[in-house]
A and B are shown apart, each in its own frame.
Chain A
Amino acid sequence: MKPLRQHQGVAVPLLRINIDTDAIIPSREMKRVSKKGLGQGLFAGWRYRYEGDEKVGPEPEFALNQPAYAGASILLAGANFGCGSSREHAVWALAEYGFRVLVAPSFGSIFRNNCIRNGLLPVTLPAEQVETLADSLQPDPQQRRIKVDLEARVIETADGRTLEFSIDEAARKTLLDGLDAIEVTLRHDDAIQAFKAADRQRRAWASLWPE
């Protein structure tokens, strides 16, 4: 996993609340048994124009399709972003599109975990501060890039304002070091084995054996 310490990039606002994972990646865009090939399907319901079920081109009204936000890597969103289904495809699609940081007043909890597992930084800020960030982008989001510093836990706008954010240590460490979670856990393998041995005594009824 790519470590994430500092990141500077173009931000794009999508300030509605309860943007669910079905909106982030509609189920019909999850076409293969793979984590790849999902960037095209990101926000597909909003991002394309349709005739019947056929995509016939980009929807010019949608923020990601506007030149001002080309190459965006920071997403500003409303509360409860990523609520709904557990599909990690939502995170894979955001990452493949190029997003590295998401800023919202709150996140769906499975979605947030998925972000951290995939090197995508979820920053929680109050709604007014997310609006402040959105305002700071104008008139030219391409020039008015936002800087995110995970080590210092601050976000800096192009007009020089800084916003502090907090994030739990576990998530911060995983992102800063780009750690592989399974490897980290297996460092505790002795504890896992000891737990299992004791547990087999205490809850023998809970074990299953191979068929």
Chain B
Amino acid sequence: MEQTLFDKIWNDHQVAELDDGSFLVYIDRVFLHERTGSVALSSLAESGRAVRNPAQVFGTVDHIIDTTPGRSDRTRMPGGEAFVRAMRELSRQAGIRFIDIHDRRQGISHLVSAEQGIALPGLTLVCPDSHTCTLGALGTLAWGIGSSECEHAMATETLRLKKPGQMQVRCDGELPAGVTAKDLALHLIGRHSAAGGRGFAIEFCGSTVERLPLAGRATLCNMAVEFSAFTALVAPDEKTLAYVEQRPLAPAGDQLASARQYWERLHTDPGARFDLQLTIDAADVAPTVTWGTSPQHAVAVDGRVPDPRHIADEQERRTTELAMAYMDLAPGTAVRDLAIDGAFIGSCTNSRLPDLRAAAAVLDGNRVADGITAICVPGSSAIKREAEAEGLDEVFRAAGFEWRESGCSLCFYAGGEGFPTGARVISSTNRNFEGRQGRGVRTHLASPATVAASAIAGRIADCRETTARP
């Protein structure tokens, strides 16, 4: 029978079908970070259970560590040090591989998993972090779980799951100039709502997706959780295999040959069934920005804040009004040209090398507008080194951006650092929730190029109209 990519991976991990209709699914890799992984490890130890297969469990520090140069265990979050130290100590006790703060491999969990070859096509990987779905870009079946489920995965090497539905999102054609995977993701969520993918494992496919670099696919899969999907996948192709084969933890020798054979069958068979199919024409996607407090509040950069009077559903209307009040925006306001106070480039959504290059291309020879706080945080220490080797750090600095050490940083205000209360910020991250980047901070989500263009203009700008001045 014709199978989808998801079916193939799922079937090879199904340990048992349980009498309540759920499945026991084998988990190949577990990744932890100091914020929630520390809690899972400590709770597991307290319950007297061990990590069953420590060789498959990894951890790092990214969420609350400081990202300013010269950092130490000390974080800006009161008590944050305790998480960093607990993670280090509990990892040692559990015998898992831990990538510490000054390790060359340190970075945001989902980037480290990819860079180190912890995530590979066809594996299952879980992490107590919702953006674990990012790794679907490599054809890894990866998803976010809670701390208790994480304990379960470590203690049993399995998880109990209901089988999700399957959705195919097909995008064909060439993205217009200045339009990126981020815009595509926001466009999708804006059109089909933040709950549009609920209960589904999504496969992104079509010529647009095939053409995307792995970084773009990662951005797309990363945003799947903002679409409420269980997770997302992109079928591995030559681009993927060329990348994963170079990773430190990739199989070698004969093992690599058999892995390759296995990976080459990881695609959806023609005629396989999906529960739901959506299509997007790449030509319809414009640089996209959010105006509100849900990723579904997305409009083209020349679009406007809606008028709640035109929303029929009462709860939807009330929620929209609350979002507008929080964002301090009147109905019908044009998004473009809203004055901003801050700009942030970073996070597991958009902090890979191509993202930094795209922003640098806009920034080159320009200056950030007066009074704007502009910060760039590369997603991993490896990316930071590569960017510096290309001189990108110089471009960012010359334009007036801060250039930092890698981590989650201002993506979520956990290191205790946020933008000032009430600030309006344009950000390459994934969540514009209330308070996400600081108390009362108003976040507008956008692509790195749009963030860069807006930082220069001091207002939300169309990146297609900003020219570099080399």
A and B part of one assembly:
yes
Task: Mark A residues whose CB is within 8 Å of B.
Answer: 15-18, 20, 22-23, 26-28, 30-35, 45, 50, 52-53, 78-80, 83-88, 91, 106, 108-110, 113-114, 117-118, 127, 168-170, 173, 181-182, 185-186, 188-189, 191-192, 195-196, 199, 202-211
A-B contact pairs, 30 of them (CB 8 A): A16-B319, A17-B319, A18-B194, A18-B195, A32-B79, A33-B42, A33-B83, A50-B439, A52-B421, A86-B145, A88-B39, A88-B128, A88-B148, A91-B146, A113-B146, A114-B149, A117-B149, A118-B148, A168-B22, A169-B20, A181-B152, A182-B151, A185-B156, A189-B156, A191-B16, A195-B26, A202-B12, A206-B120, A206-B251, A206-B259
Q: Which residue among A18, A78, A169 has the maximum number of chain B CB atoms within 10 Å of its CB?
A: A18
Across the interface, B130 reaches (CB within 8 A) one of A26, A28, A86, A206, namely A86
Which of these binds chain A: B170-178, B269-277, B281-289, B427-435? B427-435
Distance in angstroms between the alpha carbons of A75 and B421 in the assembled complex = 29
Across the interface, A34 reaches (CB within 8 A) one of B39, B255, B259, namely B39
Q: In the complex, which residues of chain A have a beta carbon less than 8 angstroms from the beta carbon of B12? A: 199, 202-203
Q: In the complex, which residues of chain B have a beta carbon less than 8 angstroms from the beta carbon of A114? A: 146, 148-149
Distance in angstroms between the alpha carbons of A192 and B23 in the assembled complex = 12
Kindly state whether residue B105 has any CB partner on chain A within 8 Å: no
Q: In the complex, which residues of chain A have a beta carbon less than 8 angstroms from the beta carbon of B24? A: 185, 188, 191-192
Q: In the complex, which residues of chain A have a beta carbon less than 8 angstroms from the beta carbon of B147? A: 35, 88
**What's the least CB distance linking B89 to chain A, in Å?**
10
- With A83-B194, A181-B152 as given contacts, are A170 and B146 in contact (CB-CB < 8 Å)? no
Q: Which residue among B15, B47, B78, B144 has the maximum number of chain A CB atoms within 10 Å of its CB?
A: B15
Assess whether B431 is in contact with A84, with CB atoms less than 8 Å apart.
yes
**What's the least CB distance linking B264 to chain A, in Å?**
13
Assess whether B148 is in contact with A117, with CB atoms less than 8 Å apart.
yes
Assess whether B21 is in contact with A186, with CB atoms less than 8 Å apart.
no
Q: Taking CB as reference atom, which chain A residue is nearest B313? A: A127
Assess whether B155 is in contact with A182, with CB atoms less than 8 Å apart.
yes
Which of these binds chain A: B299-307, B408-416, B461-469? B408-416
Distance in angstroms between the alpha carbons of A16 and B414 in the assembled complex = 25
Distance in angstroms between the alpha carbons of A158 and B453 in the assembled complex = 57
Kindly state whether residue B268 has any CB partner on chain A within 8 Å: no
In chain B between 412 and 463, which residues have their CB closer than 8 angstroms to a CB of chain A? 412-414, 416, 421, 431, 433-436, 439
Q: Taking CB as reference atom, which chain A residue is nearest B49? A: A182
Q: In the complex, which residues of chain A have a beta carbon less than 8 angstroms from the beta carbon of B97? A: 211
Distance in angstroms between the alpha carbons of A83 and B293 in the assembled complex = 12
Q: Which residue among B86, B149, B249, B413 has the maximum number of chain A CB atoms within 10 Å of its CB?
A: B149
Q: Taking CB as reference atom, which chain B residue is nearest A30? A: B35
Kindly state whether residue B67 has any CB partner on chain A within 8 Å: no
Q: Taking CB as reference atom, which chain B residue is nearest A189? A: B156
Q: In the complex, which residues of chain B have a beta carbon less than 8 angstroms from the beta carbon of A207? A: 55
**What's the least CB distance linking B409 to chain A, in Å?**
12
Assess whether B95 is in contact with A210, with CB atoms less than 8 Å apart.
yes
**What's the least CB distance linking A182 to chain B, in Å?**
5
Kindly state whether residue B115 has any CB partner on chain A within 8 Å: no
Assess whether B194 is in contact with A28, with CB atoms less than 8 Å apart.
no
Distance in angstroms between the alpha carbons of A197 and B172 in the assembled complex = 42
Assess whether B152 is in contact with A35, with CB atoms less than 8 Å apart.
no
Assess whether A208 is in contact with B78, with CB atoms less than 8 Å apart.
no
Distance in angstroms between the alpha carbons of A192 and B24 in the assembled complex = 9
Q: In the complex, which residues of chain B have a beta carbon less than 8 angstroms from the beta carbon of A211? A: 55, 97
In chain B between 149 and 182, which residues have their CB closer than 8 angstroms to a CB of chain A? 149, 151-152, 155-158, 160, 162
Q: Taking CB as reference atom, which chain B residue is nearest A186? A: B156
Assess whether B160 is in contact with A18, with CB atoms less than 8 Å apart.
no
**What's the least CB distance linking A102 to chain B, in Å?**
15
Q: In the complex, which residues of chain A have a beta carbon less than 8 angstroms from the beta carbon of B55? A: 207-211
Q: Taking CB as reference atom, which chain A residue is nearest B117? A: A208
The 10 closest A-B pairs by CB, nearest first: A88-B146, A205-B259, A114-B146, A170-B20, A205-B251, A86-B130, A117-B148, A205-B255, A86-B144, A27-B414
**What's the least CB distance linking A26 to chain B, in Å?**
6
Across the interface, B228 reaches (CB within 8 A) one of A35, A109, A205, namely A109
Annotate B244-268 by CB proximity to A: 1 below 8 A, 0 otherwise. Answer: 0000010100011011001000000
- With A23-B435, A185-B156 as given contacts, are A28 and B77 in contact (CB-CB < 8 Å)? yes
Across the interface, A188 reaches (CB within 8 A) one of B16, B47, B262, B416, namely B16
- With A16-B318, A109-B199, A208-B55 as given contacts, are A53 and B146 in contact (CB-CB < 8 Å)? no
Q: Taking CB as reference atom, which chain A residue is nearest B132? A: A86
Q: Taking CB as reference atom, which chain A residue is nearest B95? A: A210
Q: Which residue among B86, B147, B262 has the maximum number of chain A CB atoms within 10 Å of its CB?
A: B147
Kindly state whether residue B66 has any CB partner on chain A within 8 Å: no
**What's the least CB distance linking A53 to chain B, in Å?**
6
Q: In the complex, which residues of chain A have a beta carbon less than 8 angstroms from the beta carbon of B436? A: 22
Distance in angstroms between the alpha carbons of A33 and B124 in the assembled complex = 27
Q: Taking CB as reference atom, which chain A residue is nearest B321? A: A16
Assess whether B413 is in contact with A27, with CB atoms less than 8 Å apart.
yes
Q: Taking CB as reference atom, which chain B residue is nearest A44? A: B435
Assess whether B15 is in contact with A191, with CB atoms less than 8 Å apart.
yes
Q: In the complex, which residues of chain A have a beta carbon less than 8 angstroms from the beta carbon of B262? A: 203, 205
Kindly state whether residue B338 has any CB partner on chain A within 8 Å: no
Q: In the complex, which residues of chain B have a beta carbon less than 8 angstroms from the beta carbon of A32? A: 79, 82
In chain B between 215 and 259, which residues have their CB closer than 8 angstroms to a CB of chain A? 228, 230, 249, 251, 255-256, 258-259
